[in-house]
Amino acid sequence: MSKVSIIGLGYVGLPLALLASKAGHEVSGVDLSEARVSKINSGQDPINDEYVQKNLKGTKLIASTNFDSVNSSDVVIICVPTPVKHDYQPDLVPLKAAVVAVAKRLKKGSLLIIESTINPGVCDEIVIPLAEKESSLGLNLDFYISHCPERINPGDKKWSVENIPRVAGSSSHEGLKRTVEFYETIIKAAIKPMGSLKEAEAVKVVENSFRDINIAFVNELAMSFTKLGIDVKNVIDGAATKPFAFMAHYPSVGVGGHCIPVDPYYLIEYARGYGFEHELLSLARSINNQMPDFTASQLIDALNEAGYTLKDSRVLVLGLSYKANVADDRESPSYKLIKILEQKKARLSTFDPYFPDKSTESDLASALKDKDAIVLATNHQAFLSLKPKDMKIKVFVDGKNAFDKAAFDKAGIIYKGVGK
């Protein structure tokens, strides 16, 4: 068993730290946020996650805002954010800061693993030079660098940090061997060794770009089929009966979260630096970024059909999370939609049970009162039991295609989905 330091205790780092501790390693967690550290040390879950809640009880994990544990760690794993800036350029500031802080304390013989999502080339071109400079240690002589991208899917009851297969790449054969051996002590799943750090980095960006492109395809179909009068959801369900070579993805109000709407930009920008334009990836990003505008246009059309205008209509947006039943609103399309509706002078209210402080309404019952229209932006379980006959509204826009249109027709409410 090893001494392990995990840097960044968020959606990725905290479940990993709890798992490594459960597996018997001596684990220290490091995070810049004092509030997060004190919550973890007092047994409170800072990310509202079932896996974390279950495993925080009785854990030996100790969290801290200082990096002292790195001095004696055999394995150091970096799990800090890798967002994009306002102009969609990769923002490696948190990663570089973490590498510098770790490298200054790295001991001889240690293994430094990056779990944060990064484009091919980041380890070779940024992490390794920085780590060698700040540590004054020699790569593959005194320490190893590996990349083992995390694939966690928060809120997923079947696939957790414990059973999702991994890929790993390293700076040397010995580094790769140690990395695979380490993960074998904590996860119950296959670990595929990759030929290089770049290959391991590319795997994660490719997985998330694959998803972004497939979602862009169905989002484009949704916009087209709205004009053609075809129900896109029924068509996708029909196509999904083919037992091979089709994978169902569904359209919606937009793509959110810290991964899918972010990671493709890392590859786009890196390849651009080498003179290659990822046209398909850029187009997919652009289509998915249009979906809040499309949802707003669905609302405007429906209100017009009902004899109303968006200006001055009382509109409730249900859901701020980027996906159902998680307290994560990073890159959520709800915020883009809200901005569009505010600019068009709708009288806007919002409600999300996971974000009481960011909602304008205090509870669902009062949120539903005195509204002309509702837009469902997140299909939280709490919203799915709503009955059209109990909604005193003119228009319902279903940004997740989660409801049955017929029930709204029956209640005399104009229903519009995304492509249905």
Binding residues for ligand NAD, per CB under 6 A? Answer: 7-13, 30-33, 36, 79-82, 94, 97-98, 116-117, 150-152, 154, 258-259
**Which of 46, 399 has the CB closer to ligand NAD?**
46
Smallest separation (angstroms) from ligand NAD to the CB of 273: 20
Given the complex with ligand NAD, which of 17 and 341 has the nearer CB atom? 17
Burial class for 274, CB neighbours closer than 10 Å (0-12, 13-18, 19+):
exposed
Residue closer to ligand NAD (CB basis): 357 or 390: 357
Of residues 393, 282, 297, the one with CA closest to residue 337? 297
Q: Closest CB to ligand NAD belongs to which residue?
A: 10
Contacts within 8 Å (CB) and 24+ apart, 398-406: 399/252, 399/253, 399/254, 399/295, 399/333, 399/337, 399/375, 400/252, 400/253, 400/324, 400/376, 401/233, 401/250, 401/251, 401/252, 402/376, 403/376
Question: What size, in residues, is the chain?
Answer: 420
Q: Which is nearer to ligand NAD, 80 or 113 (CB)?
A: 80
We find the least distance from the C-beta atom of residue 333 to ligand NAD, in angstroms, to be: 16
Tell the smallest beta-carbon distance from residue 49 to ligand NAD (Å): 10
Min dist. Cβ of residue 379 to ligand NAD (A):
18
Q: Dig out the tokens for 286 from the structure.
A: 């652009």
Cβ pair 341, 333 in contact under 8 A: no
Q: How far is the CB of 7 from ligand NAD (least distance, A)?
A: 5
The DSSP element (H or E) to which 388 belongs, if any, is none
Phi, psi of 314 (to 5 degrees): -90, 110
Q: Which residues fall within 8 angstroms of residue 369, CB to CB, at 6 or more apart?
A: 392
Residues catalogued as catalytic: 259
d(CA 277, CA 169): 26
CB atoms inside a 10 Å sphere around CB 220: 19
CA–CA distance, 259 with 83 (Å, rounded to integer): 8
Q: Do residues 269 and 119 lie in contact, with contact meaning Cβ atoms separated by under 8 Å?
A: yes
Give dist(CA 309, CA 8) in Å, integer. Answer: 47
Instruction: Please report how close the Cβ of residue 68 comes to ligand NAD at its closest, in angstroms.
Output: 13
For 173, phi and psi rounded to 5 degrees?
A: -60, -45
Give dist(CA 45, CA 40) in Å, integer. 6
Residue type (1 letter), 373: A
33 versus 140: smaller Cβ distance to ligand NAD: 33
Decide whether 80 or 300 has the Cβ nearer to ligand NAD.
80
- Report in angstroms how near the CB of residue 61 gets to ligand NAD at its nearest: 14
Shortest CB 412 distance to ligand NAD, Å: 41
Nearer to ligand NAD, 10 or 254 (CB): 10
131 touches 99 (CB < 8 A): yes
Nearer to ligand NAD, 9 or 218 (CB): 9
